[in-house]
Amino acid sequence: MQKQISTGMEESLDKASLHLKVAAILRDKITYGALAPGLRLNERVLCEELKVSRTPLREALKTLASEGLVALLPNRGAMVTPMTLADTAQTFQVLRVLEGLAGELACAHADAGALARLRELHERMRLCHKKGDREHYFELNQAIHAQLFLLSGNPVLAATHDKLNLRLRRARYFANVSQTRWDHAMQEHEQMMEALESKNGKRLRTLLEEHLSNKCDAVIAALLSSGAVSAIGTPNGSGRRDKLKS
C-alpha cells in the first residue's frame, strides 16, 4: 500500500494537517514493512519521495517517535524503532486484558444498529481473507477492534487502547504472514462475532483474550524466524546500519 503526497499538496494543506498526513503515510510504511525495523531514515530521500519540505517531515517523525515507532537519534537523524521480543510480549499482555474488558462491556452496550455495522465490517473482512487481500483485511480488522472499544462506553479504556495499539500496529499486521495463522484468526473472529451478537460478554472476553494470546505467539515466532530480532529480544546489528535508499 504505497502512498505519497501529491504535487502541490504542501501548498494546499495547512502546516498541522500536512505533518499529520506525512505521519500517516510513514506509519503505514512502517506497518506494512516498507520501512523495516532498525532502518535509518534519510530525510532528503523521504522529502523527495513525499514531495514535502523538511519541516513537516521532522514534525511527522516527532509524532511517530511519541508513538514508539521511530527513535530520534541525537545529531544522527531518525531510525525505525526495532521490535524487541520483551516489549512486544509485554505490550500484548496489557492489550489482551484491555481487549477482553472492552468486549465484555461492548456486549452490554451494543444496540441493533451497532451490531449491524460490526457485522458489515466483519463480512467485508471475511471477503478480503477469501481474496487474500492482507492489507485491506488488516484495516478492517483494526476498525472492528477499535469499534469494540468505542462500544465499551469507557473513553479512558478506548484512549489507552489507541495509544498502545499504535505501538503494536506493525506487529499485529506481522502476525498474519503465515496463512495458517491467518485462517485461524479469521475463525476466531467468526466466533467473536457470534458471541457479540448473542450478547455473551463473558464468552467474548475469553475469546478476545485467547485471540490476543495467539496473535502474540504468532508475532514472536515470526520475529524470530525472520531474523528481525535475536532470541533475547535485541535487534540484530545489521538493521541499525541500513540506510534508506532512493
Region of poorest pLDDT, from 35-39, 138-142, 159-163, 222-226: 222-226
Give pTM, 2 decimals.
0.75
Q: Say yes or no to pLDDT of 3 above 80.
A: no
- Binning pLDDT at 50, 70 and 90, where does residue 227 land? low
Q: In what order do the strands lie in the sheet with 40-41?
A: 40-41, 77-80, 70-73
Confidence at residue 36, expressed as pLDDT on a 0 to 100 scale: 86
Confidence at residue 229, expressed as pLDDT on a 0 to 100 scale: 57
Q: Say yes or no to pLDDT of 107 above 50.
A: yes
Residue 39: CB partners within 8 Å, gap ≥ 6? 79, 80, 239, 242, 243, 244
pLDDT, tens digit (0-9, with 9 covering 90-100), for 161-192: 988 888 888 888 877 778 888 999 999 999 99
Query: Does residue 232 or residue 142 have the better pLDDT?
Result: 142
Confidence at residue 93, expressed as pLDDT on a 0 to 100 scale: 95
Confidence at residue 178, expressed as pLDDT on a 0 to 100 scale: 80
Q: What is the mean pLDDT of residues 88-100?
A: 94
pLDDT, tens digit (0-9, with 9 covering 90-100), for 6-38: 444 444 456 658 988 999 999 999 988 889 888
Contact 30, 3 (CB under 8 A): no
Mean pLDDT over each residue of the chain, to the nearest integer: 85
Confidence at residue 167, expressed as pLDDT on a 0 to 100 scale: 82
Q: Say yes or no to pLDDT of 83 above 50.
A: yes
Confidence at residue 225, expressed as pLDDT on a 0 to 100 scale: 78
Q: What is the mean pLDDT of residues 62-91?
A: 89
Confidence at residue 242, expressed as pLDDT on a 0 to 100 scale: 40
Q: Say yes or no to pLDDT of 230 above 50.
A: no
Confidence at residue 102, expressed as pLDDT on a 0 to 100 scale: 97
